[in-house]
Amino acid sequence: MSDVHQFTSVSFRNYKALRQYSVSLGGFNILVGPNNSGKSTILDAFRILAEGMRKATARNPEFLNLRGEESWGYRVPLDDLPLSMENVFSNYDDTHPAIIDFRLSSGNRLELRFPETNSCYMICKTQGRPVRSTTDFKREYKASVGFVPVLGPVEHDELLYQKEAARRALLTHRASRNFRNIWYHYPENFQQFKALIRSTWPGMDIEPPEIQVGDQKPILRMFCPEERYPREIFWAGFGFQVWCQMLTFIVRAKSDSLLIIDEPDIYLHSDIQRQLVSLGGFKFQVQRVNDDAVAHRPPGAWRS
């Protein structure tokens, strides 16, 4: 994994509150600021980018004409993303497109261009050969973005949903309400997750979700043996529930080059927050008061 590309900066032009703004990224980054200062805007930009990159690994680019500028790129769907795209232009100035530019350690760039409200395109700007296929994209952009949304307590009675519902919940506040569904539909790496629970929360264990069928719709249960006495995860403390979810996302993001954690301190004791940092193998280049975290994964981190 030594050839994984890291994100080195992101810049904004005419995008929402960020008329002209840029952020340099190191190995460990924390966004700090008052309300309405643009923190969520920066995080949301990476959410849009992740959706564009996901599409680029599955489909070939198309030829685009954006306000007279011709280029190859991808239409990025915004409907399923948990963000507001109204007033995408700074001070309502739509005479120029809104642009977000991401730079990688390889020298390649990815540009998100918003020619109009609720319309987004991703343009690949490479140092070498242009991107014309999924193979080209995977060769030029050896990077991916993982997210940990704002987490909260799990549901008492979590209905069994379809796999697509669990996938969509992974990027939103609905992740907590679909925690058992996520592991039911995506059981890969459960044993690594289980091992992390046992090693980071003494005396606790966890079992895979199981279906409970009654008179109503099927319900998922997850039992946590604690000193030989199993209890359903809903009856564990909020801190343990959130920690289980945090580890779920960390395990799922083990191959991502960038992991973004939205408000990592909610429900987590300071000792657990320190464990969170050490688990990721983060390289500290910036150390400030927690708010939102953006961390690059060094090669080999989060692997068993």
β-bridge partners, 75:
121
pLDDT at 223 over 90: yes
> CATH number of the domain at 7-144, please?
3.40.50
pLDDT number for residue 72: 92
pLDDT winner (highest mean) among 134-138, 161-165, 297-301:
134-138
Q: What percent of the chain has pLDDT over 70?
A: 86
- Inter-residue contact 155 to 177 (CB < 8 Å): yes
Return the amino acid letter for 271.
D
Find the mean pLDDT for residues 170-194.
91
DSSP 226: E
Q: Which residues contact 173 (CB under 8 A, 6 or more apart)?
A: 82, 149, 150, 152
Cα-only R_g, the chain: 20
pLDDT at res. 304: 24
Distance CA 17, CA 259 (A): 24
Residues of the chain with CATH 3.40.50: 7-144
Residue 150 scores a pLDDT above 60: yes
State pLDDT tens for residues 235-289.
998 989 999 998 999 888 888 888 888 877 666 666 666 667 666 544 333 223 3
Classify each residue of 85-103 as buried b or exposed e, where b means 16 or more C-beta atoms within 10 Å of its C-beta.
Answer: beebbbeeebeebbbbbbb
pLDDT tier at 302, thresholds 50, 70, 90: very low
Map tokens 């992991």 to a residue: 259
In this structure, which amino acid lies at residue 184? Y
* pLDDT level of residue 200 (50, 70, 90 thresholds): confident
**Residue 280: per-residue pLDDT:** 54
The one-letter amino acid at 8? T
Tokens 């940990």 locate to: 148
Q: Are 191 and 257 in contact, with CB atoms under 8 Å apart?
A: no
d(CA 138, CA 6): 14
pLDDT at 107: 95
Angle between helices 270-280 and 238-252 (to 10 degrees): 10
Query: Bridge partners of 225?
Result: 230
The pLDDT of residue 299 is: 37
Residues 6+ apart with CB under 8 A from 174: 168
Residue matched to tokens 């990159």: 53
Residue-wise pLDDT for 27-47, tens only, equals 888 888 888 888 889 999 999
Name the pairing type of β-strands 98-104 and 109-116. Answer: antiparallel
* 52: its two tokens: 């564009």
Question: Which pLDDT score, from 0 to 100, does residue 70 have?
Answer: 87
For the cut 60, the answer to whether the pLDDT of residue 59 exceeds it is: yes
pLDDT band at 87 (very low <50, low <70, confident <90, very high): confident
Of 299 and 13, the structure prediction assigns the larger pLDDT to: 13
Any idea which residue has 């952009």 for tokens? 141
Instruction: Identify the H or E element spanning 232.
Output: strand 229-232
DSSP run (H or E) holding 279: helix 270-280
pLDDT exceeds 80 at position 136: yes
CA distances from 274 to 217, 241, 282, 283 (A): 40, 17, 11, 13
Interval 64-81 mean pLDDT? 87
For residue 1, pLDDT over 60 is answered with no
